[in-house]
Amino acid sequence: MKIATAFLLLFGIAAGSAGSVVQSPAADRQQFIRVEAPVVVLTHVRMIDGTGAPARDDQTIVIAEGKIKSIGATAPPDLPASAQTVDLQGYTALPGLVGMHDHMFFPQGGLIYSDMGVSFPRLYLALGVTTIRTAGSVAPFTDLEIKRLIDAGRMLGPKMHVTAPYLEGRGSFTPVMHELTGPDDARKMVNFWADEGATSFKAYMNITRAELRAAVEEAHKRGLKVTGHLCSIGFREAAEIGIDNLEHGLLVDSEFVPNKQPDQCPGAAVNASLKQLDLNSPAVHDTISMLVAKNVAITSTLPVFEAGSAPLAPSGIGAASALLNPRALNVMSTDARVRYLTARARVSFDSGFVPLFRKAMDFERAFVQAGGLLIAGLDPTGNGGIVAGFGDLREVELLVEAGFTPLEAIKIATFNGAKFLGEDAHIGSIAVGKQADLMIVKGNPAASIGDIEKVEIVFKDGVGYDSEKLIQSVQGLVGIR
């Protein structure tokens, strides 16, 4: 009985709990629903469809059976009298974001990370992220059970694609990661976690080429993909091995370190080499060309790097308004907030980092211009300032800061992620027949990308959830559960 009670308390299931997940499931869900009916009609709404196409003003979107049934200038004449109509004059409908580096864990200080099994699912959903890939797990059974609870309608959160525990070699910086003992161990891990329900794998900083090759071979046999936050292996080496995705872009690529040793992470030498790197050099051109030719995607995670840099100006890169977002700070526990603010206060100005950050942005743009698939996530790690949902929205803003148009940035954060997951026939853009996964924001993000933060309603499978109520339900919980 004590174990069962502890489990219920962990997930906030106890009756009357402020962070309740299943009070009863129906009752708990209902308090956060703003729009639900067999047929929902969104009228006078501006629509950004996620494909990069221009926004369309004054549209009517009809939702039924969890899917988009029609889109047009006017509503179809055969709507039932019971249809729920929502006038969205002054609002914009966008596809739900597809977060591709959206962990379920958060730094606890030191080298420890803990799953945020209550706060993060709600925050992702509240801020418009209707699908996530966890891109690495430190509590994989927890992630898989949360996914099952969400899929069963017993818990509120996004659709989840669970990534297995990290495939890390010898030398891990944190005890939450298993260190591989060789290629056979890599194969065993892939097969074990694939059997448990993981749908992707993530190689980490000290993995060897032999271990990565073994993991990729086993994953591909099962039709699954491998991504990587690499250091011991350069991007071109990983592409030759067959990796499907590379996390963080240029800022972690070790291949430009002079005299880099095989299978060894050169640590601080990576940054030093990148600061000297000429993006117009043949070496960079060759890397981008190889990644594109091998269909290797790149995940942009700009917020986690911004959080570790000094604020430079009232707006733009390093803006204090983004790094000290009061709404994000309010969902943190007192301890988590103090840890983050202390870390922020200790950030020293590094005149070399801002040009490097800009170089990383330019690399992502060059990769896209060459035909590469850029996807997006937030990575809620670093110094503890990146929070589920809030960071996803900031990522879109930073893509615009990087030089993409708002429509291009939204496509990267929606359709491109769905395409990588093989889900673009169902999610990632607003189109007739697709799932009604939408975010409704006040204003016009196509003209002012900052409006993307003004999320009011998030539709998942045709049910519209109240963004602010979801956020309020987890005040003070980030850093606890």
Q: What percentage of residues in the chain have a pLDDT greater than 90?
A: 84
pLDDT above 90 for 353? no
In this structure, are strands 39-47 and 91-95 parallel, antiparallel, or unpaired?
parallel
Q: What is the CA radius of gyration of the chain?
A: 22
Spatial separation of the C-alpha atoms in residues 352 and 217, rounded to whole Å: 39
Q: Which has the higher per-residue pLDDT, 24 or 220?
A: 220
Q: What pLDDT sits at residue 394?
A: 96
pLDDT above 50 for 20? no
In this structure, are strands 67-72 and 297-300 parallel, antiparallel, or unpaired?
unpaired
pLDDT above 80 for 173? yes
pLDDT above 70 for 14? no
Q: What pLDDT sits at residue 462?
A: 98
Q: What pLDDT sits at residue 307?
A: 86
Q: What pLDDT sits at residue 110?
A: 81
Query: What is the arithmetic mean of pLDDT over 362-368?
Result: 98
Q: What pLDDT sits at residue 264?
A: 97
Spatial separation of the C-alpha atoms in residues 302 and 401, rounded to whole Å: 10
Element spanning 43, H or E: strand 39-47
| Mean pLDDT rounded to a whole number for the chain | 92
Q: What is the largest CA-CA distance in the chain?
A: 72
Q: How many CA atoms lie within 13 A of 90 on its CB side?
A: 3
pLDDT above 90 for 226? yes
- Which residues, 6 or more positions from 242, have their beta carbon under 8 angstroms from its beta carbon? 213, 216, 217, 220, 226, 294
Q: What pLDDT sits at residue 4?
A: 39
pLDDT above 60 for 314? no
Asked if 99 contacts 375 with a C-beta cutoff of 8 angstroms, the reply is no
Residue 81 token pair:
């009298």
Query: What is the arithmetic mean of pLDDT over 65-74?
Result: 96
Confidence of residue 159 (pLDDT cuts 50, 70, 90): very high
Q: What pLDDT sits at residue 320?
A: 60
Asked if 144 contacts 196 with a C-beta cutoff of 8 angstroms, the reply is yes
Q: What pTM value is reported for the model?
A: 0.94
Residue 90 token pair:
């002054």
Q: What pLDDT sits at residue 310?
A: 61
pLDDT above 90 for 276? yes
- Torsion angle in degrees (nearest 10) through CA of 307, 310, 312, 314: 50
Q: Which residues of 387-411 are buried (b: 16+ CB within 10 A; e: fewer)?
A: bbbbbbbbbbbbbbbbebebbbbbb
Asked if 239 contacts 294 with a C-beta cutoff of 8 angstroms, the reply is yes
Among the residues of 131-182, which ranges form H helices? 140-151
- Helix (DSSP H) and strand (DSSP E) numbers for the chain: 18, 19
Residue 2 token pair:
């004590």
Q: What pLDDT sits at residue 9?
A: 37
Residue 408 token pair:
């291009």
Confidence of residue 25 (pLDDT cuts 50, 70, 90): low
Query: What is the arithmetic mean of pLDDT over 458-464?
Result: 98
